[in-house]
Amino acid sequence: MTLQQILVTAAVLAAGCYLLILAMRSYRSFRKLAGGGGSCNSCKCGTKSAAPR
C-alpha cells in the first residue's frame, strides 16, 4: 500500500466516522426537539424551550 493510499484510506475512514457521529447526534437532537427540549440543529437559531401548553 502506498503512502497516498494510506492517507486516502485514513481520510475516508475519518470522514465516515465523523458523519456517523453527526448522524447519531442529529438523531438525539431530533428526539429532544420533537420531545420539547433541545435546540434546533439545522440553523442554530437558538430555539430552545419547554413544550407549549
Check residue 1 for interaction with other proteins (CB under 8 A). Answer: no
Please, what is the minimum distance in Å from the beta carbon of residue 27 to other proteins? 9
Count of positions (residues) in the chain: 53
Q: d(Cα 31, Cα 47) in Å, to the nearest integer?
A: 14
Q: d(Cα 25, Cα 19) in Å, to the nearest integer?
A: 10
Check residue 24 for interaction with other proteins (CB under 8 A). Answer: no
For other proteins, the binding residues (CB under 8 A) are 2, 4-5, 7-8, 11-12, 15-16, 18-19, 22, 26, 29-31, 33-36, 40-49, 51-53
